[in-house]
Amino acid sequence: MRAFVASVMTLASACSTPDPTPRAVHPGAVQLRVMTYNVNFGLDGDPAGVAAVASASPDLVVLQETTRPWQDALVAGLGRRLPHHRFKSSHGPWVAGGMGVLSRWPITSVETLTDGGGPFFAWRLVIDAPGGPLQVLDVHLRPPMSDSGSWVVGYFSTREDRQREAIAHVARLDPRLPTLVVGDFNEEDEGMALKIFRDHGFASALPKFHPNVDTWQWPVGGMTLRFRLDHILYDAHFRGLDANVVEAGRSDHFPVWADLERI
């Protein structure tokens, strides 16, 4: 884990808007661009967020913190390219737990997972994609906030909670299907939840191509906290071709995209 003090350092270099065409590696191979984006429930339907997603021309977008106004704005702005979509509102006292997905291809099933014990549910999706069905686990793991509301205490005390969520969710995956695990993990690369997925054979896209980029920022006084909390993981049925963030939109998170090839 990067030292806590490093979180107050500003990002040294900016990331460019991605080329909307995935890089060809093997002619004829099935390629896709997948994106994850925590839109921020407090920015209902923000046009800048919709434009940030559209700028990367993704084939599949999984979302966290969606609301009904976000659903309406995203479908209106992206529905022509991504005609298949599902959304589900938050449940319980945490209002930031909504989920969404927009896809170029039919969504054949959506399973809500709540047995991880976290404040937010996860989604297990099956997409009827070129090359055959693929499975997507959309996660929004527990924020690093203590039960008393402290982010400082929670940064260190909630790691086991996210680990338990990851253990529960990975057990619900169908091992026969090519699988992606994407979303807001609320922890960096060295986190305990991410280790669970790595131990099950998943690779992470961003560290391979942009090991120093962060996906979340929050101003505190005269400083800005920055972490990499959003991740796109893929199993051995995929090869990573490229990945980056789109530094746009007004959410505290940036959209993260990865170009993948089915193998």
Nearest to 155 by CA among 120, 186, 122, 121: 186
So what's the pLDDT on residue 91? Answer: 72
- Range of 256's domain? 31-262
Query: Among the residues of the chain, which ranges form H helices?
Result: 47-55, 68-78, 151-157, 159-170, 192-199, 205-209
Question: Does residue 10 sit within a domain?
Answer: no
- Taking the model in full, what pTM does it have? 0.88
Which CATH number characterizes residue 149's domain?
3.60.10.10
Q: Does residue 76 or residue 11 have the better pLDDT? A: 76
User: Quick one: tokens of 101?
Assistant: 């997905």
* Res. 12: pLDDT tops 90: no
Question: Does residue 21 sit within a domain?
Answer: no
Question: Does residue 11 sit within a domain?
Answer: no
User: Quick one: tokens of 107?
Assistant: 């969504």
Percentage of the chain beyond pLDDT 70 is 88
Question: How many domains are contained in the chain?
Answer: 1
Question: Does residue 3 sit within a domain?
Answer: no
So what's the pLDDT on residue 198? Answer: 98
82 pLDDT band (50/70/90 cuts)?
very high
Mean pLDDT of the chain: 89
* Res. 13: pLDDT tops 50: no
What is the mean pLDDT of the segment spanning 140-164?
Answer: 81
What is the mean pLDDT of the segment spanning 107-124?
Answer: 95
How far apart, in Å, are the Cα atoms of 58 and each of 43, 108, 232, 242? 21, 19, 13, 13
Question: Could you give the CA distance from residue 234 to residue 46 in angstroms, rounded to a whole number?
Answer: 29
Question: Does residue 7 sit within a domain?
Answer: no
16 pLDDT band (50/70/90 cuts)?
very low
Question: Does residue 20 sit within a domain?
Answer: no
Beta pairing, strands 31-38 & 60-64:
parallel
* Res. 80: pLDDT tops 60: yes
27 pLDDT band (50/70/90 cuts)?
confident
Question: Does residue 14 sit within a domain?
Answer: no
3-state helix, strand, coil in the chain (%, to 5): 25, 35, 45
Question: Does residue 198 sit within a domain?
Answer: yes
So what's the pLDDT on residue 147? Answer: 73
What is the mean pLDDT of the segment spanning 86-99?
Answer: 87
Q: Does residue 206 or residue 22 have the better pLDDT? A: 206
- Which residue bears the tokens 């993981």? 233
What is the mean pLDDT of the segment spanning 225-233?
Answer: 96
Report whether 138 contacts 183 (CB < 8 A). yes
